[in-house]
Chains A and B, each alone.
Chain A
């Protein structure tokens, strides 16, 4: 997530030390979990999503966002947090302008994604597809089998929105060998995966499998037939998709692209996808293999930190304590402009291609955002600002060029100390990863 002051002296500054610290994070089974008791349970969030109080859901979203950012600040390296963000983006959801959805998006990440980030991909897939946030975002909550009990009675039918995205985005990937008929059949298999209405209150807004909405019959997806059944029919289909070789390839490609290089080679993708297949989607094993991948630590720093990650790296570099998060209003400084949490409208998530983030518009906005951020919050970070000239060696020992260090010193002396800090955060060594 970005270095913290003193980190190098605690961990050692060699590449091996960094890799060991990442591997060690993976060994903590709790590493991905947010256990803040102030956050409501999944059941409570679901209830809030149908018993709507606009102020309450907006407050809840803020609570979820702050808890997430606070969690980013804690670990020394933050590799697991990076994995959480990767998976959250893989299963992107958006409010679609429905205030009620705001109660669900943070919860989905917290209760359907985080518990499986060091677990199994099939479990994560099945948890996400049963979370009201995903079901409502992609309309499966209203999808009804045309020959189901209620479908026949109400003359209603299914939509293929979620089924298409499961195949295209979440599992096999584009050109993953599925047909339009596979999409339709999967859509029929998951009819009845819906969300409770506001009553009865003890289950309001929660996931529900409604057998009266479920299309009867056996259906084939990718040449595998799934026998007539209830929810287990869909769970079996998701299990098959999660373990499919094309899914392994797709996930491996995305992981290498995100963590290592804009242009993954087929050797890199093949190596990682073999681990995924061999371990049946054990994401801890896959993450470990990613850390050991050739080029993972030696690839030149060519990718730019996306704005949200950049804002987090800045916060960590400023020694921000988790308790301070609610006193920083990131959006108004534009420091994460274009990359707000749960701000991506389309189900493909924020693009990972470097060009999307490294361009004329974004660079100018970063420059201005850094001005605003440092001016607005200078008093909160007074002690870091006072030490600005020592910070480059503290944060990035041996990694900052003399030219960049000189630029920090020049800005600090000729403009202001906080301008020196801004120069550090805008330096190529800090912007890239």
Chain B
């Protein structure tokens, strides 16, 4: 069976055009077709017209990595010139002589940072101008709750807003891009369970790294049954198995084989799917375990090392598309400046974010350093956040995907006009993408599901 067997009939270009012009009815129709396309799976993305002759390798790729649990930014990157560092950290202060410099020898004191030595691969990306750090950053909600802050980060809301919003900003982004935009056409990928950041009305491709099935011939027999009796299930399972195949197939990359960590499997799979010609262009995945209340020095060392390896595997596995890639790694909060009673740290506020990728204007630490002296901390305990995580997201979406400011301020990050995008994150803002988005500068009416859709439709009748 060839992969072409499960490509759906193309959606009429008339409907797509009407939808791009904002025709409500055709948007609804298209939406249903989108779901069918989703059902049809990976290769069916070819149904929509691509930008003529655009080499898909040139299209931007974006990976959002959610570092869950609260990464201790002060353990990842240490301010070399902050006199309060050693006193603030006590027994978990790092020996600065063993750390990796994130600055040139001639750089003046003030903005010099040192990187944890368990991040050697990230460090070499930084040195070759393909990685940056953002420091003293946090989502706008500062209540130190994992769930609330992770929700705030992924829902893209201002601080203090209740949790009513049940869609993620990455999903809303997909909804406001014009239907011909290559990022919209390629779609988004969830790796593992659906994270809130990708939840919502727009269809999302899922891939979950799992074990292989064990019974020889069983898959073929089941596919045969579905082919004869249930075309929808046949499409879904074929697509699921195809996605899984692509995610696990090595295509001549110089990657280690043998026992991979689950993190390596996930990062490699995401890279291969993002690299594929007809593959998704946006992906999100979760890296858990950063909640280092106890014995932080040991725990975080192995966490950082595992993350470093997986990120570097991603760089290699995505191949040539790396040059158009941005990876953004964020966490829900930082941790207390001071050590707690169990050689760890408790929930705090300001922390770091990582940027990597060939499109990143690397070698920089973006920061407005707030200082570690007791009076500079929040409640004498937490690093202040001088950068809102939404600023980082906005800067990447504006310059990497060409998303208009008006959309960033409303649909994608509601009520955020006062949150400025971070500048100079990327090498060259993409003019191609800005043109691809020309149709989408004004907020559109959100699509409805469930009772809202029912009410809208029955009101018309």
B-binding residues in A (CB < 8 A): 96-98, 138-139, 159-161, 164-165, 168, 173-176, 249-250, 253-254, 257, 264, 266, 269, 334, 337-338, 345-348, 351-353, 355, 358-365, 367-368, 371-372, 375, 401, 403-404, 407, 410-411, 414-416, 419, 422-423, 426-428, 431-432
B residues within 8 A CB of A427?
Answer: 225, 229
Q: How many angstroms from the CA of A360 to the CA of B245 in the assembled complex?
A: 13
| Shortest 4 CB-CB contacts between residues of A and residues of B | A361-B206, A364-B240, A360-B240, A161-B162
CB nearest to A414 among chain B residues: B217
Interface residues contributed by chain B, number (CB under 8 Å)? 61
Name the residue among B39, B42, B225, B226 with the largest chain A CB count within 10 angstroms: B225
Name the residue among B146, B163, B199 with the largest chain A CB count within 10 angstroms: B163
Whether A175 touches B241, Cβ cut-off 8 Å, given contacts A371-B214, A403-B225, is: no
Instruction: Name the distance in Å between B371's Cβ and chain A's nearest Cβ.
Output: 30
CB nearest to B461 among chain A residues: A266
Is the CB of B219 closer than 8 A to any CB of chain A? yes
Is the CB of B427 closer than 8 A to any CB of chain A? no
The answer, among B162, B190, B213, for a CB contact under 8 Å with A371, is: B213
Q: How many angstroms from the CA of A337 to the CA of B239 in the assembled complex?
A: 18
B residues within 8 A CB of A173?
Answer: 450-452, 455
Render B202-224 as a binary contact track against A, CB cut-off 8 A, 1 for contact.
01011110111111111101101
Q: How many angstroms from the CA of A164 to the CA of B212 in the assembled complex?
A: 44
A residues within 8 A CB of B212?
Answer: 368
Instruction: Name the distance in Å between B137's Cβ and chain A's nearest Cβ.
Output: 22
Q: How many angstroms from the CA of A364 to the CA of B243 in the assembled complex?
A: 10
CB nearest to B214 among chain A residues: A371
A175 with B455: CB separation less than 8 A: yes
Interchain Cβ contacts under 8 Å between A and B, 5 examples: A97-B147, A175-B455, A176-B451, A353-B449, A403-B229
Instruction: Name the distance in Å between B187's Cβ and chain A's nearest Cβ.
Output: 12
Q: How many angstroms from the CA of A414 to the CA of B239 in the assembled complex?
A: 25
B residues within 8 A CB of A372?
Answer: 211
The answer, among A164, A334, A360, A407, for a CB contact under 8 Å with B221, is: A407
Is the CB of B385 closer than 8 A to any CB of chain A? no
A423 with B222: CB separation less than 8 A: yes
CB nearest to B216 among chain A residues: A415
B213 with A367: CB separation less than 8 A: yes
Q: How many angstroms from the CA of A372 to the CA of B218 in the assembled complex?
A: 13
A355 with B39: CB separation less than 8 A: yes
B residues within 8 A CB of A371?
Answer: 213-215, 218
CB nearest to A177 among chain B residues: B455
Q: How many A-B residue pairs lie within 8 Å, measured between CB atoms?
A: 170
Whether A360 touches B41, Cβ cut-off 8 Å, given contacts A368-B211, A407-B224, is: yes
Instruction: Name the distance in Å between A330's Cβ and chain B's nearest Cβ.
Output: 15
Known pairs A254-B450, A415-B217 / 8 extra A-B pairs, C-beta < 8 Å: A175-B451, A254-B451, A346-B199, A362-B236, A363-B233, A365-B240, A407-B224, A419-B215
Is the CB of B458 closer than 8 A to any CB of chain A? yes
Is the CB of B404 closer than 8 A to any CB of chain A? no
Render B232-256 as a binary contact track against A, CB cut-off 8 A, 1 for contact.
1100110111011000000000000
A403 with B228: CB separation less than 8 A: yes
Is the CB of B258 closer than 8 A to any CB of chain A? no
Render B158-173 as a binary contact track against A, CB cut-off 8 A, 1 for contact.
0000111010000000
Instruction: Name the distance in Å between B341's Cβ and chain A's nearest Cβ.
Output: 18
B residues within 8 A CB of A360?
Answer: 38-39, 41-42, 205-206, 236-237, 239-240, 243
B147 with A345: CB separation less than 8 A: yes
Is the CB of B230 closer than 8 A to any CB of chain A? yes
A residues within 8 A CB of B206?
Answer: 359-362
B residues within 8 A CB of A175?
Answer: 451-452, 455-456
B219 with A367: CB separation less than 8 A: yes
A426 with B222: CB separation less than 8 A: yes
B residues within 8 A CB of A334?
Answer: 210
Render B15-54 as a binary contact track against A, CB cut-off 8 A, 1 for contact.
0000000000000000000010011011000000000000
A residues within 8 A CB of B229?
Answer: 401, 403-404, 427-428
Instruction: Name the distance in Å between B194's Cβ and chain A's nearest Cβ.
Output: 7
